[in-house]
Amino acid sequence: MSHSDTNFAWAIPVMRAGYAGRGLVYLVLAGFSLFAIWNGGEAQGTGSVLKSLETSTGGQVVLALIALGLLAYAVWRLVDAAWDLEDYGTDAKGAIARVGMLATGAIHAGLGIAAGAVLLTASGGGEDSTIAEWTGRIMSLPAGRLVVGIAGAATIGAGIYYFHKALSESYRKHLQANPATRGWNMVLKAGIVAQALMVTVIGGFLVFAAWTANPGEAGGAEQVFDFLGSQPLGWALVIAFCVGLLGFAVFCFVNAVYRIVPKVDGGDVDSLADLAKGRA
């Protein structure tokens, strides 16, 4: 059955909920980390932030919204990749983009399940310990180190793609042209750069874990904060990174409201890219 034979209008609210949930994760991650730094502490990883939410006022409601939102994002990415709703095409570039959708969908499904687990139970490890644990399990398999190394290299590649996405402003073709999106462009770009940095560094951790045969070298957001903090003027880098993640939260929220889905919207919605070319 082709996309023309199927009404995918139902996917739009799922997409909006998904991007909103994704934005909420980065808003909470950056917000909690900046608050911790302000009070003399250290930036927190995703797992630590989810645990902190559990005991915060209204935190369980936020956890529920995050869990539902991230699971919605996973469903959206699966449907988007399967039916190419955003019209990436079937050439090599389009195939890579759609495989990337499946990967990001799986990652966010895992985060959504983690948020639900924190909400429903009083136990559960942090994000970084989970990454290290799964890395260790994979590396214990035949050719496991090679698999982890390839996964790390692919993750670095995704990070480079995000950098290119920010610098080329290719994200603009997926956003409606209006005063709100035009005014937020620099924030959106900074947010994607921050996300690119996080993805690239996490990929580097995976490659290093495979190279050294030490799964403990793998990690997520918390280890990225540690890595940045260990550099010259590390405290400034961590703060700038957190501010960038706030920008990525804005990027997600803007997508939740103004993202264009060509094969559902009909392809007749003017985008920011069209505006830049003088067609909007």
The values of phi and psi at residue 19, to 5°, are -65, -35
Provide the pLDDT confidence category of residue 267 given band limits of 50, 70 and 90. low
As a whole-number percent, the residues of the chain with pLDDT over 70 amount to 92
- Cα dist from 245 to 18, 163, 198, 241, whole Å: 17, 14, 9, 6
> Whole-model pTM?
0.88
* Contacts with 274 (C-beta within 8 Å, 6 or more apart), sequence order: 173, 177, 280
pLDDT tens digits for range 95-118: 877 877 887 888 888 888 888 888
Angle, helix 127-139 to helix 221-229, in steps of 10 degrees? 100
Among the residue ranges 6-15, 87-96, 198-207, 238-247, the one predicted with the least confidence is 87-96
What is the predicted pLDDT for the residue at 197? 96
Residues 119 and 69: beta-carbon distance below 8 Å: no
pLDDT tens digits for range 209-248: 999 999 989 888 889 999 999 999 999 999 999 999 999 9
pLDDT at 29 over 60: yes
What is the predicted pLDDT for the residue at 109? 86
